[in-house]
Chains A and B, each alone.
Chain A
Amino acid sequence: MSPGNFVALAVILFVIGAVGVLVRRNAMVIFMCVELMLNAVNLAFVAFARMHGNLSGQVIAFFVMVVAAAEVVVGLAILMAIFRTRRSASVDDASLLKY
Protein backbone atom coordinates (compact mmCIF):
# COMPACT_ATOMS: atom_id res chain seq x y z
CA MET A 1 0.00 0.00 0.00
CA SER A 2 1.78 3.10 -1.18
CA PRO A 3 1.89 6.10 1.18
CA GLY A 4 1.03 8.17 -1.89
CA ASN A 5 -2.56 6.98 -1.65
CA PHE A 6 -2.81 8.15 1.93
CA VAL A 7 -1.27 11.47 1.10
CA ALA A 8 -3.67 11.88 -1.82
CA LEU A 9 -6.59 11.12 0.48
CA ALA A 10 -5.22 13.65 2.96
CA VAL A 11 -5.02 16.25 0.20
CA ILE A 12 -8.62 15.63 -0.82
CA LEU A 13 -9.89 15.85 2.75
CA PHE A 14 -7.87 18.97 3.38
CA VAL A 15 -9.26 20.73 0.34
CA ILE A 16 -12.80 19.70 1.25
CA GLY A 17 -12.26 21.10 4.73
CA ALA A 18 -10.85 24.32 3.38
CA VAL A 19 -13.75 24.82 1.00
CA GLY A 20 -16.09 24.08 3.88
CA VAL A 21 -14.51 26.83 5.95
CA LEU A 22 -15.05 29.22 3.10
CA VAL A 23 -18.61 28.41 2.16
CA ARG A 24 -20.30 27.63 5.46
CA ARG A 25 -21.58 30.39 7.72
CA ASN A 26 -22.34 28.51 10.91
CA ALA A 27 -19.40 28.98 13.20
CA MET A 28 -19.84 25.44 14.55
CA VAL A 29 -19.62 23.95 11.09
CA ILE A 30 -16.62 26.07 10.28
CA PHE A 31 -14.97 24.72 13.38
CA MET A 32 -15.70 21.21 12.31
CA CYS A 33 -14.25 21.89 8.90
CA VAL A 34 -11.11 23.20 10.54
CA GLU A 35 -10.96 19.98 12.52
CA LEU A 36 -11.34 18.09 9.28
CA MET A 37 -8.37 19.93 7.83
CA LEU A 38 -6.30 19.16 10.91
CA ASN A 39 -7.24 15.53 10.65
CA ALA A 40 -6.24 15.47 7.02
CA VAL A 41 -2.86 16.88 7.92
CA ASN A 42 -2.53 14.29 10.65
CA LEU A 43 -3.19 11.57 8.12
CA ALA A 44 -0.43 12.96 5.95
CA PHE A 45 1.93 13.03 8.91
CA VAL A 46 1.18 9.45 9.77
CA ALA A 47 1.66 8.42 6.14
CA PHE A 48 5.00 10.17 5.99
CA ALA A 49 6.05 8.62 9.28
CA ARG A 50 5.26 5.25 7.84
CA MET A 51 7.05 6.10 4.62
CA HIS A 52 10.24 7.20 6.25
CA GLY A 53 10.09 4.74 9.12
CA ASN A 54 10.47 7.68 11.45
CA LEU A 55 8.17 7.90 14.44
CA SER A 56 8.44 11.69 14.71
CA GLY A 57 5.58 12.09 12.26
CA GLN A 58 3.29 10.27 14.67
CA VAL A 59 4.48 12.38 17.59
CA ILE A 60 3.78 15.54 15.59
CA ALA A 61 0.33 14.24 14.79
CA PHE A 62 -0.16 13.69 18.47
CA PHE A 63 0.82 17.23 19.24
CA VAL A 64 -1.51 18.47 16.54
CA MET A 65 -4.34 16.67 18.26
CA VAL A 66 -3.52 18.29 21.58
CA VAL A 67 -3.33 21.74 20.09
CA ALA A 68 -6.55 21.11 18.20
CA ALA A 69 -8.24 20.15 21.44
CA ALA A 70 -7.07 23.36 23.09
CA GLU A 71 -8.17 25.38 20.09
CA VAL A 72 -11.62 23.79 20.15
CA VAL A 73 -12.04 24.57 23.83
CA VAL A 74 -11.17 28.22 23.43
CA GLY A 75 -12.99 28.56 20.13
CA LEU A 76 -16.18 27.12 21.48
CA ALA A 77 -15.97 29.36 24.52
CA ILE A 78 -15.66 32.37 22.26
CA LEU A 79 -18.56 31.07 20.24
CA MET A 80 -20.64 30.80 23.38
CA ALA A 81 -19.80 34.33 24.36
CA ILE A 82 -20.72 35.64 20.92
CA PHE A 83 -23.87 33.61 20.84
CA ARG A 84 -24.94 34.96 24.17
CA THR A 85 -24.75 38.53 23.03
CA ARG A 86 -25.75 38.20 19.40
CA ARG A 87 -28.09 35.17 19.56
CA SER A 88 -26.53 33.94 16.38
CA ALA A 89 -23.84 31.50 15.39
CA SER A 90 -23.35 32.96 11.93
CA VAL A 91 -19.88 34.34 11.31
CA ASP A 92 -21.29 36.80 8.82
CA ASP A 93 -23.24 38.58 11.52
CA ALA A 94 -20.11 39.55 13.40
CA SER A 95 -18.91 41.82 10.63
CA LEU A 96 -18.69 45.15 12.38
CA LEU A 97 -14.95 45.44 12.03
CA LYS A 98 -14.96 46.94 8.55
CA TYR A 99 -14.64 50.14 6.58
Chain B
Amino acid sequence: MHGGVLAISDVASTTQQITFWLLAVVSVTSALGMILVRKAVYCAVLLAVVMLSLAVLYALQNAPFLAFVQVIVYTGAVLMLFLFVLMIVGIRAKDSIVETIRGQRVAAGLAGIGLLVLLSLTVGHAVLGTAAQAGPSFGANNVYAIAKLIFTTYVFPFEVTSALLITAALGAMVLAHRERLTPKLTQRDRSRLRVASGHPAPLAGPGTYARHNAVDMPALLPDGTPAEASVPLAIRGVPETPDQQRTLLGSSAAVRGETGAESGQEGDA
Protein backbone atom coordinates (compact mmCIF):
# COMPACT_ATOMS: atom_id res chain seq x y z
CA MET B 1 0.00 0.00 0.00
CA HIS B 2 2.70 2.31 1.10
CA GLY B 3 4.98 1.26 -1.70
CA GLY B 4 2.12 1.53 -4.12
CA VAL B 5 1.58 5.08 -3.12
CA LEU B 6 5.25 5.77 -3.59
CA ALA B 7 5.22 4.14 -6.95
CA ILE B 8 2.21 6.13 -8.01
CA SER B 9 3.89 9.27 -6.65
CA ASP B 10 7.06 8.44 -8.54
CA VAL B 11 5.15 7.90 -11.74
CA ALA B 12 3.26 11.12 -11.16
CA SER B 13 6.50 12.93 -10.45
CA THR B 14 8.08 11.68 -13.63
CA THR B 15 5.02 12.65 -15.63
CA GLN B 16 5.08 16.04 -14.00
CA GLN B 17 8.72 16.51 -14.86
CA ILE B 18 8.26 15.54 -18.44
CA THR B 19 5.26 17.81 -18.77
CA PHE B 20 7.04 20.69 -17.09
CA TRP B 21 10.16 20.55 -19.18
CA LEU B 22 8.17 20.09 -22.35
CA LEU B 23 5.91 23.02 -21.58
CA ALA B 24 8.80 25.11 -20.33
CA VAL B 25 10.56 24.77 -23.62
CA VAL B 26 7.36 25.42 -25.55
CA SER B 27 6.38 28.46 -23.56
CA VAL B 28 9.82 30.06 -23.56
CA THR B 29 10.16 29.46 -27.28
CA SER B 30 6.73 30.95 -27.90
CA ALA B 31 7.49 33.89 -25.69
CA LEU B 32 10.71 34.55 -27.54
CA GLY B 33 8.79 34.23 -30.75
CA MET B 34 6.38 36.87 -29.53
CA ILE B 35 9.06 39.46 -29.42
CA LEU B 36 10.64 38.38 -32.66
CA VAL B 37 7.78 37.95 -35.15
CA ARG B 38 6.76 41.03 -37.06
CA LYS B 39 3.05 40.44 -37.44
CA ALA B 40 0.89 41.22 -34.47
CA VAL B 41 -1.51 38.41 -35.22
CA TYR B 42 1.24 35.80 -34.99
CA CYS B 43 2.17 37.36 -31.76
CA ALA B 44 -1.34 36.82 -30.48
CA VAL B 45 -1.30 33.19 -31.54
CA LEU B 46 2.04 32.63 -29.84
CA LEU B 47 0.66 34.26 -26.72
CA ALA B 48 -2.20 31.82 -26.83
CA VAL B 49 0.31 28.98 -26.89
CA VAL B 50 2.09 30.40 -23.84
CA MET B 51 -1.17 30.84 -21.98
CA LEU B 52 -2.34 27.34 -22.69
CA SER B 53 1.01 26.00 -21.58
CA LEU B 54 0.68 27.96 -18.39
CA ALA B 55 -2.81 26.60 -17.89
CA VAL B 56 -1.41 23.11 -17.97
CA LEU B 57 1.36 24.15 -15.61
CA TYR B 58 -1.26 25.52 -13.21
CA ALA B 59 -3.00 22.23 -13.30
CA LEU B 60 0.32 20.62 -12.61
CA GLN B 61 0.65 22.81 -9.57
CA ASN B 62 -2.63 21.59 -8.10
CA ALA B 63 -4.54 24.65 -9.21
CA PRO B 64 -7.28 23.21 -11.38
CA PHE B 65 -9.58 26.18 -10.92
CA LEU B 66 -6.98 28.64 -12.12
CA ALA B 67 -6.12 26.36 -15.01
CA PHE B 68 -9.68 26.51 -16.22
CA VAL B 69 -9.99 30.19 -15.65
CA GLN B 70 -6.76 30.65 -17.57
CA VAL B 71 -8.16 28.78 -20.52
CA ILE B 72 -11.61 30.27 -20.45
CA VAL B 73 -11.00 33.86 -19.43
CA TYR B 74 -7.52 34.53 -20.67
CA THR B 75 -7.15 32.41 -23.72
CA GLY B 76 -10.81 32.48 -24.51
CA ALA B 77 -11.93 35.97 -23.80
CA VAL B 78 -8.97 38.30 -23.44
CA LEU B 79 -7.04 36.95 -26.38
CA MET B 80 -10.17 37.01 -28.52
CA LEU B 81 -10.54 40.63 -27.61
CA PHE B 82 -7.01 41.19 -28.79
CA LEU B 83 -7.71 39.48 -32.06
CA PHE B 84 -10.90 41.46 -32.50
CA VAL B 85 -9.08 44.75 -32.11
CA LEU B 86 -6.33 43.49 -34.38
CA MET B 87 -8.90 42.91 -37.06
CA ILE B 88 -10.00 46.53 -36.80
CA VAL B 89 -6.52 47.95 -36.60
CA GLY B 90 -5.35 46.00 -39.58
CA ILE B 91 -4.33 42.45 -39.51
CA ARG B 92 -1.68 42.82 -42.15
CA ALA B 93 0.17 45.58 -40.38
CA LYS B 94 3.76 44.58 -39.97
CA ASP B 95 6.17 46.11 -37.54
CA SER B 96 9.27 47.60 -39.02
CA ILE B 97 12.31 45.92 -37.59
CA VAL B 98 14.35 49.09 -37.69
CA GLU B 99 14.78 50.48 -34.19
CA THR B 100 14.21 54.23 -34.17
CA ILE B 101 15.27 55.00 -30.63
CA ARG B 102 19.02 54.84 -30.43
CA GLY B 103 20.36 52.26 -28.00
CA GLN B 104 16.92 51.10 -26.99
CA ARG B 105 17.45 47.50 -27.99
CA VAL B 106 20.90 47.22 -26.48
CA ALA B 107 19.74 48.84 -23.27
CA ALA B 108 16.63 46.70 -23.13
CA GLY B 109 18.70 43.56 -23.75
CA LEU B 110 21.22 44.50 -21.08
CA ALA B 111 18.49 45.39 -18.62
CA GLY B 112 16.72 42.12 -19.39
CA ILE B 113 19.86 40.08 -18.88
CA GLY B 114 20.60 42.02 -15.72
CA LEU B 115 17.17 41.38 -14.34
CA LEU B 116 17.38 37.76 -15.31
CA VAL B 117 20.67 37.36 -13.52
CA LEU B 118 19.49 39.20 -10.46
CA LEU B 119 16.20 37.33 -10.21
CA SER B 120 17.98 34.05 -10.77
CA LEU B 121 20.34 34.92 -8.00
CA THR B 122 17.42 35.79 -5.80
CA VAL B 123 15.57 32.63 -6.57
CA GLY B 124 18.73 30.55 -6.24
CA HIS B 125 19.61 32.28 -3.02
CA ALA B 126 16.21 31.80 -1.50
CA VAL B 127 15.58 28.56 0.33
CA LEU B 128 12.66 27.36 -1.68
CA GLY B 129 12.65 23.82 -0.41
CA THR B 130 10.21 21.28 -1.65
CA ALA B 131 6.52 21.60 -2.03
CA ALA B 132 4.48 21.32 1.12
CA GLN B 133 2.19 18.40 1.54
CA ALA B 134 -0.73 19.09 -0.72
CA GLY B 135 -3.84 19.37 1.39
CA PRO B 136 -7.36 18.64 0.22
CA SER B 137 -7.76 22.18 -0.94
CA PHE B 138 -5.17 21.57 -3.60
CA GLY B 139 -7.07 18.63 -4.97
CA ALA B 140 -10.69 17.89 -5.61
CA ASN B 141 -11.68 20.46 -3.04
CA ASN B 142 -9.85 23.26 -4.84
CA VAL B 143 -12.81 25.16 -6.25
CA TYR B 144 -14.67 24.98 -2.96
CA ALA B 145 -11.67 26.15 -0.99
CA ILE B 146 -10.98 29.08 -3.34
CA ALA B 147 -14.61 30.11 -3.26
CA LYS B 148 -14.54 30.01 0.51
CA LEU B 149 -11.42 32.19 0.60
CA ILE B 150 -12.80 34.67 -1.90
CA PHE B 151 -16.07 35.09 -0.12
CA THR B 152 -14.63 35.26 3.37
CA THR B 153 -11.11 36.59 3.66
CA TYR B 154 -10.99 38.33 0.29
CA VAL B 155 -14.58 39.45 0.03
CA PHE B 156 -13.74 43.12 0.10
CA PRO B 157 -11.07 42.99 -2.64
CA PHE B 158 -13.45 40.85 -4.60
CA GLU B 159 -16.20 43.44 -4.42
CA VAL B 160 -13.75 46.14 -5.31
CA THR B 161 -12.74 44.10 -8.32
CA SER B 162 -16.31 43.98 -9.47
CA ALA B 163 -16.46 47.76 -9.24
CA LEU B 164 -13.24 47.90 -11.22
CA LEU B 165 -14.70 45.71 -13.93
CA ILE B 166 -17.83 47.83 -14.24
CA THR B 167 -15.75 50.97 -14.37
CA ALA B 168 -13.52 49.45 -17.01
CA ALA B 169 -16.53 48.42 -19.09
CA LEU B 170 -18.00 51.91 -18.87
CA GLY B 171 -14.64 53.46 -19.64
CA ALA B 172 -14.19 51.30 -22.69
CA MET B 173 -17.61 52.34 -23.92
CA VAL B 174 -16.87 55.99 -23.46
CA LEU B 175 -13.48 55.72 -25.09
CA ALA B 176 -14.69 53.73 -28.06
CA HIS B 177 -17.75 55.88 -28.62
CA ARG B 178 -17.72 58.27 -31.54
CA GLU B 179 -20.23 60.96 -32.30
CA ARG B 180 -21.98 60.57 -35.63
CA LEU B 181 -21.06 63.48 -37.80
CA THR B 182 -22.96 62.56 -40.96
CA PRO B 183 -26.59 61.49 -41.19
CA LYS B 184 -27.09 57.79 -41.06
CA LEU B 185 -27.63 56.24 -44.46
CA THR B 186 -30.91 54.46 -44.75
CA GLN B 187 -31.45 51.41 -46.90
CA ARG B 188 -33.12 53.65 -49.41
CA ASP B 189 -30.05 55.89 -49.59
CA ARG B 190 -27.80 52.95 -50.03
CA SER B 191 -29.79 51.48 -52.89
CA ARG B 192 -29.95 54.85 -54.55
CA LEU B 193 -26.19 55.24 -54.26
CA ARG B 194 -25.62 51.79 -55.58
CA VAL B 195 -27.75 52.40 -58.68
CA ALA B 196 -26.11 55.77 -59.20
CA SER B 197 -22.64 54.27 -59.01
CA GLY B 198 -23.07 52.32 -62.21
CA HIS B 199 -22.40 48.97 -60.53
CA PRO B 200 -25.74 47.96 -59.22
CA ALA B 201 -24.94 44.26 -58.98
CA PRO B 202 -23.31 43.00 -55.81
CA LEU B 203 -19.61 42.44 -55.88
CA ALA B 204 -18.14 39.06 -56.22
CA GLY B 205 -17.39 37.65 -52.84
CA PRO B 206 -13.83 36.99 -51.93
CA GLY B 207 -12.55 33.71 -53.15
CA THR B 208 -14.87 33.58 -56.08
CA TYR B 209 -13.16 32.17 -59.16
CA ALA B 210 -10.03 31.90 -57.10
CA ARG B 211 -8.02 28.86 -56.38
CA HIS B 212 -8.47 29.43 -52.69
CA ASN B 213 -11.70 30.12 -50.93
CA ALA B 214 -10.03 32.02 -48.08
CA VAL B 215 -11.50 35.42 -47.32
CA ASP B 216 -8.17 37.13 -47.86
CA MET B 217 -7.96 36.09 -51.50
CA PRO B 218 -9.38 38.67 -53.90
CA ALA B 219 -12.05 37.65 -56.35
CA LEU B 220 -11.12 37.46 -59.99
CA LEU B 221 -12.79 39.75 -62.40
CA PRO B 222 -14.11 38.36 -65.66
CA ASP B 223 -10.91 39.40 -67.39
CA GLY B 224 -8.91 37.44 -64.86
CA THR B 225 -7.49 40.31 -62.87
CA PRO B 226 -7.86 40.20 -59.11
CA ALA B 227 -10.41 42.59 -57.57
CA GLU B 228 -8.70 43.95 -54.49
CA ALA B 229 -11.89 45.61 -53.39
CA SER B 230 -13.52 42.24 -52.82
CA VAL B 231 -11.31 41.58 -49.81
CA PRO B 232 -12.73 43.05 -46.58
CA LEU B 233 -10.97 46.14 -45.39
CA ALA B 234 -9.84 44.58 -42.15
CA ILE B 235 -7.99 41.86 -43.99
CA ARG B 236 -6.75 44.06 -46.79
CA GLY B 237 -5.02 46.10 -44.18
CA VAL B 238 -5.42 49.71 -43.46
CA PRO B 239 -3.25 51.93 -45.63
CA GLU B 240 -0.52 53.51 -43.58
CA THR B 241 0.27 56.61 -45.56
CA PRO B 242 -2.20 59.07 -46.98
CA ASP B 243 -0.89 58.21 -50.44
CA GLN B 244 -1.64 54.56 -50.11
CA GLN B 245 -4.96 55.42 -48.55
CA ARG B 246 -5.88 57.51 -51.54
CA THR B 247 -4.92 54.87 -54.10
CA LEU B 248 -6.66 52.18 -52.15
CA LEU B 249 -9.79 54.17 -51.59
CA GLY B 250 -9.66 55.32 -55.17
CA SER B 251 -9.46 51.80 -56.52
CA SER B 252 -12.13 50.68 -54.15
CA ALA B 253 -14.33 53.54 -55.24
CA ALA B 254 -13.66 52.70 -58.85
CA VAL B 255 -14.50 49.10 -58.40
CA ARG B 256 -17.29 49.23 -55.91
CA GLY B 257 -18.42 52.80 -56.33
CA GLU B 258 -19.79 52.99 -52.87
CA THR B 259 -17.25 54.87 -50.83
CA GLY B 260 -20.04 56.62 -49.02
CA ALA B 261 -21.68 53.36 -48.03
CA GLU B 262 -18.34 52.02 -46.93
CA SER B 263 -17.57 54.97 -44.73
CA GLY B 264 -21.04 54.65 -43.37
CA GLN B 265 -20.29 51.14 -42.35
CA GLU B 266 -17.12 52.21 -40.71
CA GLY B 267 -19.10 54.75 -38.79
CA ASP B 268 -21.36 52.02 -37.53
CA ALA B 269 -18.37 50.07 -36.30
Contacts and interface: CB of A to CB of B under 8 A. Distances in A.
Nearest to B147: A59
Contact of A81 (B95, B115, B175): B175
A97 to B, nearest CB: 15
Contacts of A81: 175-176
A77 B172 contact: yes
B6 interface: no
B43 A9 contact: no
A76 B62 contact: no
Contact of A39 (B50, B142, B164): B50
Given A66-B161, A72-B81, A29 B40 contact: yes
B44 interface: yes
Interface in A8-26: 8-9, 11-20, 22-26
Contact of A69 (B78, B93, B132, B167): B78
Interface residues of B, number: 93
Interface of B: 13, 16-17, 20, 24, 27-28, 31-32, 34-35, 40, 43-44, 47, 50-51, 54, 57-58, 60-63, 65-66, 69-70, 73-74, 77-78, 81-82, 85-86, 88-90, 93, 95-96, 99-101, 104-105, 107-109, 111-112, 115-116, 119-120, 123-124, 128-135, 137-138, 142, 145-146, 149-150, 153-154, 157-158, 161, 164-165, 167-169, 171-176, 178, 238, 240, 245
Interface of A: 1-9, 11-20, 22-26, 28-29, 31-33, 35-36, 39, 42-43, 46-47, 49-53, 55-56, 58-59, 61-63, 65-74, 76-81, 83-84, 87-89, 92
